[in-house]
């Protein structure tokens, strides 16, 4: 088990006005993300709880790339990881951001 | 005085000895080992029909039971080495040398036998290449083949799984070899004649139907969202712009995903009738929804697929069928179609290096190639144009002249990570190291980088046709290699520049919403759904049924 | 063109617990209790090096079904196999008790239980087992309060272990082809009694023993529906008024119903043997007929009842 | 501990409890100054089958039909539900639930359902017998469980030693009397000396209604710290919602 936070200080404000969304499920090879609009609009925080230790730098890379590609300011992402591959993590993050942007 | 008919005389001698086990052409199953010992001699080149799907397993077991003191040093020349008895031949010392195409489940066993010196490897071929060598320097002395039925004159009915049989028989029978067929049943009248009796020396009614592996059945229940995302990218980013109508799909789940989203996502994109109309393809059950939705005009098949026979019989406008109604497959001819008449090959691989070379040989496993290297290569002898071929050719050069030739689209679909977080993108293919260890002259490469036109991963599409030098190519590959070490090693600026030129395209660049990459997009979610789509004509094998 | 499968239909089997709730209830009517923002994660999983879920795999709340007020609980069968743990179980127990308390005051017509569970979560086995006992007890209270409790079973994990028992506590049971209901799962029986007793890898056998068709043929479920969220919804709407009261008469009738089943088929070990005995035409073909055709087939006479 | 020893201890002045089919028992026991009490049970470690469950449910319904408000004692020593293909095929879940519902009905109708666990009780058999009574007393040597440690080890992929160590710090998963007492499953622990007076005490304290207080007990005994609070929170949120 490992828990850590990755903070992005200068994120572009996330569009939409949805307060909260969930995406994915904590199952083998998958993750659950709870997204909440609770932060100042240029900040983004990702809280990770994962059973697989030792991949923090990889998480950092995934999350930075995600925040690069996607406006995430104001959003806090809380992740329960069931051992997902980085591509699944990235996909779920993108999906979470899209949901907060008001997409169905 | 020179002897010009030694082979024919040798054949006559063997036939004379074997005759005591036969009643005309019919040999009783109980005599099979003694019989084989009379037609097979030490040092023979033997094709023990092991195709991609059907297996002459009864004859394989028998051959593995002969006395090694009497028969040894056989040279096995067959496309598929997939049965335990195939390996037993080498482990027991009955056979020594091997030339083949595909090994699938025996990949590890072959690697072990190579390592321990039990197998002397000739080469790993693509199908059409091995077949070609049957007529050049690997002609079998004895062919042990499989068919559904025979009559007493030796005429054979192969049923839907004709596969390699006509090619093997052609090479053996017309070069003074001996052809022995195991059949499920000897009958008076055949539904149709696939192999004329004049080319067949003996038939044996086996104690069981020959084994057929359901190799191309992909359960829709196992298709992942990542594979669906990749399938969406392939459809929108490759099929649509090139207008690919004639193609081959590989065996993996990503292409199964493509087949399953044709009637949904493909329909939304308005592509029906414009892409994916003609296939060189095994009878993939996952293509049923697209066929039923009117996407497909014609399919020619390498072999059959377990459970698809009735469906194909009732869809003779789509499939090639005999006058008896059942499918006629032919691996050699379908491979030829795949090489010359397809504008695109799209399939999965297990490993890709920085030059785009791809391999399914991962450490400790010699999987073989099957047909991928053939269909996944540009046919330099092709002379007929098509829009997709011409467009690909023009992308590959800076200032296309009126003489610029076209190009085949060769698309590799690969998820950036494999099982247990093993990166699928590597600096050097495992097969290079393996070749060193096993002292192979040629490191096995399934598809060479210079033949690959596109790589599709969950991160995006890299169009290698648009790359102008090795450096660009490398960055294009790194740019879709995700969070693997190869992907993380990208030059970000170079990748962004390639993206600006459309060499790399991300889902968002193609207007693909990651939220829509869900399993709801699949036209069938289960094998049962495929049965429903087929109107009950598809009969899946037991291991794929849960009812 | 024989396009039979309607592509916009969301199947129940693959839908997430949230999507099932969204599709079963009237659109937009769901109000979640103790939602994921509360982060009621199981406190016990970490010591097993497992991460939790913000809703502990159970989503509960209120909504309307065809305009009527209902409570609803849906297990996420992919998280820990939908198993009952302390938090998960307590949420369900709380919801049921709330239904009991609010039956009259708020006019709650039904509680819908979207079960998708392998049973007790072994990492917190004692809490899970107790939660099941408490939930069963609470279902009785809810039913006595005049509220229908409807079980919907059609998920990946089925309704096994205590989940199977909870299912049979409900007033009505709706099952799909994919739904499996039982107590000891096939793997458990195979592990304990050997592969001769139950070959858990034989999927056809698993479905013949535990599957939706068998359950509905024999009376282990009241309605068989096609594997679509909207079919489950329609069946739930239709079944609420048919819920039997929780009375001595009902249980006496259930006793008679189960006794009749045992008497008639007590020596059968596979479903086709039962169909054979019952005089069903083509006993082994029941697995192969379409969902639609199966839904209209007559049930065994021992299943003609509404006692549970 | 044998059934005879238990019966002799509970009913020193006599009982008329007889063995029935499928490991069941049925009859009455005499309690000094309190008349007869109905006794049923699943005994001798017999797995609870569909047949046994139906027999027991019939007994319970008979007791309810009689209309008395006395005590129904349920003696329990059963390994687990019968793990068999045939029982599953015929709907074991319904049979177990039916039995359990009959106990619930009895309590609703004013019968005091008292479980006495003197041997094993596991998994579904535990739920549908011992855990379906209003009060569950356990005798020394009782061994209730949800799943045995080897099975838990197989599922959780943790070695038994680790689990055994872990069980010392939490009652949440481990089999046995103490963990299930702590979590609130077992209401009282009895000892063998003077069993009938403990029985009488339990009857004297019989709960007035059918309320389920096991989560409160689990909290008091610090065996189940969250359940009560979570359930209450849900009830509060539901109350606040229109």
pLDDT band with cut points at 50, 70 and 90 for residue D13: very high
Residues in chain C within 8 Å Cβ distance of A27: 78-79
| The total number of structural domains that make up chain C | 1
Residues B120 and B52 in one domain: yes
Best residue in C64, C91, C124, C129 for a mutation probing chain D (most D CBs within 10 Å): C129
Residue A64: pLDDT band (50, 70, 90) is: very high
The CATH number covering residue B435 comes to 3.40.1080
CA dihedral (B26, B32, B35, B41) positive or negative: positive
Chain A contact set for B482 (CB, 8 A)? 86-87, 90
Q: Which chains touch A (3 or more CB pairs under 8 A)?
A: B, C
Q: Residue C1: its pLDDT value, please?
A: 33
d(CA B304, CA B302): 7
Sign of CA dihedral B129, B131, B134, B136: negative
CB within 8 Å: C125 and D158: no
> Which pLDDT score, from 0 to 100, does residue B48 have?
97
Select from D12, D92, D5, D108 the least CA-distant residue to D54. Answer: D92
DSSP state of B319: B
Interface A-B, measured as beta-carbon pairs within 8 A, has a size of 42
Mean pLDDT score of chain D: 96
- pLDDT per position as a tens digit, B394-404: 999 998 888 88
Closest CA to B249 of B235, B236, B259: B259
Taking a contact as any Cβ pair under 8 Å apart, which residues of chain C between 65 and 94 contact chain B?
A: none
The nearest CA of chain A is from the CA of B535 a distance in Å of 34
Q: For residue B305, what are the domain limits?
A: 214-230+242-342+517-547
C5·B293 Cβ contact <8 A? no
Report the number of distinct structural domains present in chain D: 1
Does chain D touch chain A (at least 3 C-beta pairs within 8 Å)?
A: no
| Residues in chain D within 8 Å Cβ distance of C129 | 123, 126-127, 131, 146, 185
- Looking at residue D65, which CATH number applies to its domain? 3.90.226.10
Pairwise CA distance, residues C168 & C184, whole Å: 15
**Whether B182 and B314 share a structural domain:** no
Cβ–Cβ contact C131 with D under 8 A = yes
On whether any CB of chain A is under 8 Å from the CB of C36, the answer is yes
Cβ of A81 within 8 Å of Cβ of C51? The answer is: yes
Per DSSP, helices labelled H in B387-449 are 387-395, 430-437
Helices (H), chain A: 56-69, 86-100
Kindly list the residues from chain B whose CB atom is less than 8 angstroms away from the CB atom of residue A98.
513-515
Q: Exposed (0-12), middle (13-18) or buried (19+): which is B117, by Cβ within 10 Å?
A: exposed
Give me the total of CB pairs closer than 8 Å, taking one residue from chain A and one from chain C: 44
> B269 and B366 in one domain?
no
Chains that touch D (3 or more CB pairs under 8 A): C
Tell me the residue range of the domain where D200 lies: 3-142+186-210
Residue C220 belongs to domain spanning: 17-244
Asked, for residue D118, whether it belongs to a domain, the answer is: yes
Domain boundaries defined on chain A: 2-100
CA B84 to chain centre: 20
Cβ within 8 Å of C, B 244-263: 263
| Average of per-residue pLDDT across A49-75 | 94
ipTM of the complex model: 0.90
Q: What is the pLDDT of residues D100-142, one digit of tens each?
A: 999 999 999 999 999 999 999 999 999 999 999 999 999 999 9
**Nearest-CA distance from C171 to chain D in Å?**
12
Stretch A6-24: mean pLDDT = 93
Which of B21 and B515 is assigned the larger pLDDT? B21
Q: Are strands B211-212 and B246-249 parallel, antiparallel or unpaired?
A: unpaired
| Rounded mean pLDDT, B298-326 | 97
CB C124 within 8 A of CB C153: no
The mean predicted confidence, pLDDT, of chain B is: 95
* pLDDT score at C2: 34
Residue C303 has pLDDT above 90, yes or no: no
The pair of three-digit structure tokens given for residue B425, joined into one six-digit string? 């993108």
Partners of residue A28 on adjacent β-strands: none
CA pair distance C180, C200, nearest whole angstrom = 13
- At B168 the three-state DSSP class reads helix
pLDDT at C3: 41
- Model pLDDT, residue B546: 79
Collapsed DSSP state (helix, strand, coil) of residue D240: helix
D96 contacts in C (CB within 8 Å)? 165, 168, 183
With a cut of 80, say whether residue D161 has pLDDT above it. yes
Query: Across the strands, what pairs with D18?
Result: D26
Q: What's the CA gap between C70 and C254, in Å, rounded?
A: 26
Which A residues 31-50 touch C at CB under 8 Å?
Answer: 32, 34, 36, 49-50
Which pLDDT does position B402 carry in this prediction? Answer: 84
Contact indicator for C37, C116 with CB cutoff of 8 Å: no
Residues of C in contact with A22 (CB under 8 A): 18, 36, 54
Q: Is residue C151 part of a domain?
A: yes
> Pairing mode, if any, of strands D188-189 and C172-176?
unpaired
Instruction: Answer yes or no: is B11 within a domain.
Output: no
Integer Rg of chain B from CA: 24
**Within a domain: B6:** no
Smallest Cα distance from A28 to chain B, Å = 12
Nearest residue in C to A81, CA atom: C51
Contacts of A26 in chain C (CB under 8 A): 51-53, 79
Q: Does C119 touch chain A (CB under 8 A)?
A: no
What's the pLDDT score for residue B404? 86
Give the pLDDT confidence score for residue C6 in this predicted structure: 53
State the count of interchain CB pairs (< 8 A) between B and C.
45
Closest CA to B370 of B161, B116, B125: B125
Classify residue D25: in a domain, yes or no.
yes
Which residues in chain A are contacts of B508 at CB distance < 8 A? 69
B15-27 confidence digits (pLDDT tens): 999 999 999 999 9
CATH number for the domain whose boundaries are A2-100: 3.30.230
- CA nearest neighbour of B217 among B269, B262, B279, B282: B282
* Residue C213 placed within a domain: yes
The minimal CB distance from C43 to the residues D88, D226, D241 is found for D226
Q: CA B45 to CA B78: how far, in whole Å?
A: 10
Residues B87, B109 within the same domain: yes
Q: What CATH number did the domain enclosing C228 receive?
A: 3.90.226.10
Q: What is the pLDDT of residues B164-187, one digit of tens each?
A: 999 999 999 999 999 999 999 999
Chain B contact set for A90 (CB, 8 A): 482-483
Contacts of B289 in chain C (CB under 8 A): 5
Residue with token string 């990492």 = C123
Chain C window 284-303: which residues touch B at a Cβ cutoff of 8 Å? Answer: 287-288, 290
Q: What is the number of structural domains in chain B?
A: 3
Nearest to A32 among C35, C46, C53 (CB): C53
For the stretch C122-167, pLDDT in tens is 999 999 999 999 999 999 999 999 999 999 999 999 999 999 999 9
Task: Judge contact between C181 and D92, C-beta under 8 A.
Answer: no
Q: What are the tens digits of pLDDT across the range C196-210? A: 999 999 999 999 999
Q: Which two tokens stand for residue B463?
A: 């169009």
Please say whether the beta carbons of A11 and A45 come within 8 A: no
- Span B200-209, mean pLDDT? 97
Chains C and B make contact, 3+ CB pairs within 8 Å: yes
Work out the pLDDT band at D16, boundaries 50, 70, 90.
very high
Write down the pTM of the prediction.
0.92
- Given a cut of 50, whether residue C8 has pLDDT beyond it is no
Whether residue C192 lies within 8 A of chain B, CB to CB, comes out as: no
**In chain C, which residues have their Cβ closer than 8 Å to the Cβ of A32?**
53-54, 79
| Predicted local confidence at residue B542, as pLDDT | 87
**Any chain B CB within 8 A of the CB of C169?**
no
Contact C204 B545 (CB under 8 A): yes
Rounded to the nearest angstrom, the minimum Cα separation between A73 and chain B is: 19
Is B123 part of a structural domain of the chain?
Answer: yes
| Helix extents (H) in chain D | 3-10, 50-66, 85-89, 92-108, 123-128, 149-156, 160-167, 177-182, 195-204, 214-220, 227-240
Residue in chain B nearest C7 by alpha carbon? B523
């Amino acid at each position: 088990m490992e828990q850590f936070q990755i903070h992005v200080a200068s994120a572009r404000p996330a569009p939409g006005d949805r307060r909260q969304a969930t995406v994915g499920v904590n199952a083998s090879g998958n993750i659950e993300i709870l997204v909440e609009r609770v932060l100042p609009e240029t900040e983004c925080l990702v809280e990770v709880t994962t059973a697989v230790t030792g991949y923090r730098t990889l998480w950092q890379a995934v999350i930075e790339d995600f925040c690069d590609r996607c406006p995430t300011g104001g959003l806090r992402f809380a992740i329960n990881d069931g051992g997902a591959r980085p591509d699944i993590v990235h996909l779920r993050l993108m999906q979470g951001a899209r949901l907060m942007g008001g997409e169905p | 005085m020179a002897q010009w008919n030694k082979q024919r005389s040798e054949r006559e001698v063997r036939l004379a000895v074997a005759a005591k086990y036969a009643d005309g052409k019919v040999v009783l199953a109980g005599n099979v080992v003694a019989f084989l010992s009379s037609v097979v001699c030490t040092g023979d080149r033997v094709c023990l029909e092991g195709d991609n799907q059907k297996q002459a397993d009864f004859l394989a077991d028998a051959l593995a039971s002969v006395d090694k003191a009497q028969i040894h040093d056989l040279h096995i020349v067959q496309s598929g080495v997939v049965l335990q008895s195939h390996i037993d031949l080498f482990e027991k010392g009955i056979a020594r040398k091997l030339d083949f195409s595909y090994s699938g489940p025996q990949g590890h066993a072959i690697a072990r036998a190579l390592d321990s010196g039990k197998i002397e490897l000739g080469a790993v071929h693509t199908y059409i290449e091995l077949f070609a060598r049957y007529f050049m320097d690997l002609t079998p002395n004895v062919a042990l083949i499989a068919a559904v039925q025979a009559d007493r004159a030796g005429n054979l009915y192969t049923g839907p799984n004709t596969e390699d049989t006509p090619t093997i028989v052609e090479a053996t029978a017309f070069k003074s070899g001996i052809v022995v067929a195991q059949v499920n049943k000897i009958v008076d009248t055949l539904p149709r004649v696939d192999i004329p009796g004049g080319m067949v020396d003996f038939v044996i009614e086996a104690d069981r139907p020959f084994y057929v592996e359901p190799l191309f059945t992909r359960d829709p229940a196992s298709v992942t969202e990542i594979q669906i995302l990749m399938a969406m990218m392939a459809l929108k980013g490759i099929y649509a712009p090139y207008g690919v109508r004639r193609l081959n799909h590989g065996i993996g789940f990503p292409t199964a995903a493509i087949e399953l989203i044709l009637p949904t996502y493909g329909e939304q994109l308005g592509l029906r009738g414009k892409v994916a109309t003609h296939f060189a393809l095994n009878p993939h059950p996952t293509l049923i929804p697209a066929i039923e939705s009117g996407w497909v005009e014609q399919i020619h098949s390498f072999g059959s697929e377990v459970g698809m026979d009735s469906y194909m019989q009732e869809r003779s406008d789509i499939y090639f069928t005999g006058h008896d109604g059942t499918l006629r497959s032919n691996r050699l001819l379908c491979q030829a179609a795949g090489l010359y008449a397809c504008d695109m090959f799209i399939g999965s691989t297990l490993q890709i290096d920085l030059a785009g070379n791809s391999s399914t040989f991962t450490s400790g496993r010699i999987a073989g190639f099957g047909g991928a290297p053939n269909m996944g290569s540009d046919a330099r002898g092709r002379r007929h144009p098509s829009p997709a071929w011409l467009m690909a050719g023009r992308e590959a050069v800076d200032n296309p002249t009126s003489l610029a030739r076209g190009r085949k689209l060769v698309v590799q679909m690969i998820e950036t990570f494999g099982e247990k977080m093993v990166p699928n993108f590597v600096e050097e293919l495992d097969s290079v190291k393996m070749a060193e260890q096993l002292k192979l002259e040629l490191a096995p490469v399934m598809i060479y980088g210079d033949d690959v036109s596109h790589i599709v991963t969950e991160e995006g599409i890299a169009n290698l046709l648009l790359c102008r030098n090795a450096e660009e190519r490398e960055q294009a590959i790194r740019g879709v290699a995700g969070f693997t070490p190869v992907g993380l090693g990208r030059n970000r600026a170079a990748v962004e520049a390639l993206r600006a030129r459309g060499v790399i395209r991300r889902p968002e660049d193609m207007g693909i919403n990651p939220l829509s990459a869900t399993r709801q997009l699949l036209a069938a979610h289960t094998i049962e759904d495929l049965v429903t789509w087929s109107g009950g004509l598809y009969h899946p094998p037991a291991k794929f049924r849960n009812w | 063109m024989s396009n039979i499968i309607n592509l916009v239909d969301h199947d129940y089997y693959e839908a997430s617990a949230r999507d099932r709730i969204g599709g079963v209830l009237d659109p937009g009517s769901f109000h979640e209790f103790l939602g994921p923002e509360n982060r009621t994660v199981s406190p016990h999983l970490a010591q097993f090096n497992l991460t939790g879920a913000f809703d502990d795999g159970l989503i509960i709340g209120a909504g309307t079904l065809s305009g009527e007020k209902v409570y609803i609980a849906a297990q996420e069968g992919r998280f820990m196999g939908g198993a009952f743990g302390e938090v998960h179980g307590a949420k369900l127990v709380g919801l049921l008790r709330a239904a009991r308390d609010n039956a009259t005051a708020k006019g709650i017509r039904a509680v819908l239980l979207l079960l998708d569970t392998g049973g007790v979560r072994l990492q917190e086995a004692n809490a899970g087992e107790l939660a099941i006992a408490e939930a069963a007890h609470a279902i009785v209270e809810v039913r006595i309060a005049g509220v229908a409790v409807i079980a919907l079973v059609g998920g990946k994990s089925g309704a096994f272990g205590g989940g199977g028992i909870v299912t049979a506590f409900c007033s009505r049971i709706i099952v799909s082809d994919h739904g499996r209901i039982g107590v000891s799962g096939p793997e458990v029986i195979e592990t304990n009694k050997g592969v001769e007793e139950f070959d858990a890898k034989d999927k056809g056998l698993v479905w013949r023993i535990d599957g939706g068709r068998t359950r509905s043929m024999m009376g282990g479920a009241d309605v068989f529906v096609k594997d679509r969220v909207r079919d489950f919804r329609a069946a739930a709407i239709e079944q609420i008024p048919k819920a039997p009261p929780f009375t001595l008469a009902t249980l006496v009738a259930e006793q008679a119903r189960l006794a009749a089943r045992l008497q008639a088929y007590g020596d059968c070990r596979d479903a086709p043997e039962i169909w054979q005995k019952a005089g069903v035409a083509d006993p082994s073909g029941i697995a192969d007929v379409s969902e639609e055709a199966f839904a209209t087939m007559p049930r065994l006479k021992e299943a003609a009842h509404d006692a549970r | 501990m044998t059934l005879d020893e238990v019966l002799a201890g509970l009913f020193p002045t006599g009982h008329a409890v007889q063995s029935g089919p499928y490991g069941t028992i049925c009859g009455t026991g005499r309690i000094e100054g309190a008349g007869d009490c109905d006794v049923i049970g699943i005994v001798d470690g017999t797995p609870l089958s569909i047949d046994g469950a139906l027999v027991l449910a019939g007994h319970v319904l008979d007791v309810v039909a009689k209309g008395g408000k006395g005590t129904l004692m349920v003696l329990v020593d059963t390994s687990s539900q019968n793990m068999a293909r045939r029982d599953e095929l015929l709907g074991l879940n319904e049979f177990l639930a039916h039995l359990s519902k009959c106990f619930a009905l009895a309590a609703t109708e004013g019968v005091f359902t008292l479980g006495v666990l003197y041997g094993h009780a596991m998994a579904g058999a535990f739920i549908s017998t011992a855990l379906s009574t209003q009060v569950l007393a356990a005798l020394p040597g009782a061994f209730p469980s949800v799943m045995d440690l080897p099975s838990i080890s197989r599922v959780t992929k943790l070695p038994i030693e680790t689990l055994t160590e872990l069980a010392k710090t939490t009652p949440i998963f481990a089999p046995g009397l103490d963990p299930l007492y702590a979590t609130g499953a077992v209401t009282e622990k009895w000892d063998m000396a003077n069993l009938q007076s403990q029985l009488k005490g339990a009857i004297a304290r019989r709960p007035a209604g059918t309320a389920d207080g096991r989560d409160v007990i689990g909290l008091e005994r610090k065996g189940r710290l969250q359940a009560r609070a979570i359930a209450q929170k849900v009830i509060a949120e539901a109350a606040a919602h229109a």
